[in-house]
Amino acid sequence: MSDTVTTFVINMTGNQSGNPYQGEFKAKTLLTRRELLHADAIRRNLLGMFGANPEIAMPAMQSDAFVAGQLAVRVIESPSWFMSAGEGGIDLPDANVLEEIMRQIRIAEEARKAKFTVQADAAAEKLRAKKLE
Query: Which whole-number Å values give the CA distances from 101 to 24, 29, 66, 75, 128, in the listed order?
Result: 10, 12, 13, 9, 41
Query: For the chain, what are the domain ranges?
Result: 5-132
The confidence score (pLDDT) of residue 50 equals 60
Q: What are the start-end ranges of the H helices in the chain?
A: 33-46, 59-74, 80-83, 95-132
pLDDT at site 103 = 97
pLDDT at 3: 85
Query: 22: buried, middle or exposed (CB in 10 Å: 19+, 13-18, 0-12)?
Result: exposed
Residue 123 has a pLDDT of: 74
Burial bucket for residue 70 (CB in 10 Å: 0-12, 13-18, 19+): buried
pLDDT, one tens digit for every residue, the chain (133 residues): 578 999 999 999 999 999 999 999 999 999 999 999 999 999 988 988 666 676 778 888 889 999 999 999 999 999 999 999 999 999 999 999 999 999 999 999 999 988 877 777 777 777 777 777 6
CA gap 45, 52 in Å, rounded: 11
**Model pLDDT, residue 1:** 53
pTM: 0.84
Q: Which residues contact 69 (CB under 8 A, 6 or more apart)?
A: 38, 39, 40, 41, 42, 43, 46, 88
What pLDDT score does 99 carry?
97
pLDDT at 51: 60
